[in-house]
Amino acid sequence: MQITAISNIEKREHADCLVLPFWKGEKGAEAACDLGKLTAYSSLPIKVKDFTGKEGEVLWVYGSEPEESRIALLGLGNREGITIEKLRRAYGALTKAVLKRKCSSLSFLFPNVDLLNSELVAKAIGEGFFLANYVFDALKHDTLKQEPTVRITKVQCITSDQHAVLDALMTIEKTAKGVYLARDLTNGNADDITPQYLGRVAKQLESEYPTIEATVHDRDWIEKQGMGLLLAVGKGSEHPPVFIVAKYKGNPTSSDHTVIVGKGLTFDTGGLNLKPKGNIESQRVDMAGAAVALGTIKALAELSLPVNVTAVIASCENAISSKSYKPGDVYKAYSGKTVEITDTDAEGRLTLADALSWTVKNLQPTRVIDFATLTGSMVVALGSEVFGLMSNSDSLAQALLHSGEKTHERAWQLPLFEEYKEYLKSEIADIKNSAGREGGAILAAIFLQEFVGNTPWAHFDIAGVAFQKEGKRYYPKMATGIGIRLMIDYIESLIPKAQKGF
């Protein structure tokens, strides 16, 4: 992406589109910056009320005098009620409209926002733009010959605060690279995005960034470690499980260490408790937690943040064959705990259990945060706008919730009351993996809690938000990459002020 910022509109380079921002005023749309002679292009649409300046409204006008033949009038909504999220949404809507017009370059006049400083405005604009400027076309062929994909590759911002705006936009682009990686992995064919493929992605990150060190362990290593739950879930597949450890070392002198554990089920049939039609078709996305973990590591390396973060992924397929693990049987976890399998479709918590207990024992983390498309119960409870958070640490939970509000990747905390553990009691093992539908999301987290000991831990169930049937706001259809911006914001909050240059 080529990103530039200039102060003089007369010196701008040619672009496919010029964007003019407007507020929604009481008597009609009002310019959100000095338009100069460009006012002429908006006067008539505003006068006849074809354009009102409401949030996310985009109206195209055309002319021969400016450098750009297309001019987009963009509505930002009410000036008094403007927020970072509303700016994100407006510029996300703009980006989608620009892509529909097959524009690959644009120039935009920076709006004057009294309630927010230039850096915050630029960050909001950048997030709306970069999150929406994504197209997944890796699986198309003939249609690309007829209608080639267009992405915006050149952006020019016209502003008096060039340096702050340019720095903010370039920083957001680095985070977006991690989001794009997560989306690509989640959207890909399950036959392509195998456990071994995820391992190769981790090793590719190692080759690209000197601050990343990746190790991919094979089935033999997993067996020697005694990860009986991971081995059980992966028994039915021709693709053997792998255990991925990708370390980002941004501050080797610090002992503070965050570990992100991602659920890495590259396809989930449900096992012998087979998923029904209508649910099984989208199960390639069951590794979205792993995608968030790898995407966060990539974004951290792009940003060169002075922190230490490790991604841990226990990856396999939950396939069906004569070797598949069986309901009613008992398997032994890495921790030594035995687990009765009451539902082979409650498999993600099994792989996470081995990953969590291995992490706590071998990495001595300051905190552990896991991401998983874990339960349909979470989708029923919170829908597709909010994801669930459960934690054994109030301070960790509150910090993560705060980052979720800032990034609008919002979470809602659910309880981990001791009474719920009674539901997971087993007559033949130490614990059972499922107790039915009631409180399903909470019971899954209660199960995971058994494998983290006293380490501060938080669990994000992203089942409802990782994949969208319809694109909305600044998100495209299919994979969203939600969770990465939240994690970057949270991790940045851990950096001492002295290291931030304050």
What DSSP designation does 275 have? P
Q: State phi, psi for 214 to the nearest 5 degrees.
A: -120, 135
Establish how many alpha carbons lie within 13 A of residue 136's alpha carbon, considering only the half-sphere containing its beta carbon: 21
Beta strands in 169-271 (DSSP E): 212-217, 242-249, 258-268
For residues 3 and 26, the answer to whether their CB atoms sit within 8 Å is no
Q: What is the DSSP string of 30-46?
A: EESS--GGGGHHHHHHH
**What is the token pair recorded at 153?**
């590759």
Select from 263, 501, 214 the least CA-distant residue to 370: 263
SS3 316: strand
The span from the CA of 452 to the CA of 233, in Å, is: 20
The DSSP secondary-structure symbol of 393 reads -
CB 71 within 8 A of CB 12: no
Check: CB of residue 448 under 8 Å from CB of residue 388: no
Q: Reduced to 3 states, what is the DSSP secondary structure of residue 143?
A: helix
Give the catalytic positions in this structure: 275, 349
CA 17 from centre of chain = 29
Residue 49 CB partners (closer than 8 Å, separation 6+): 28
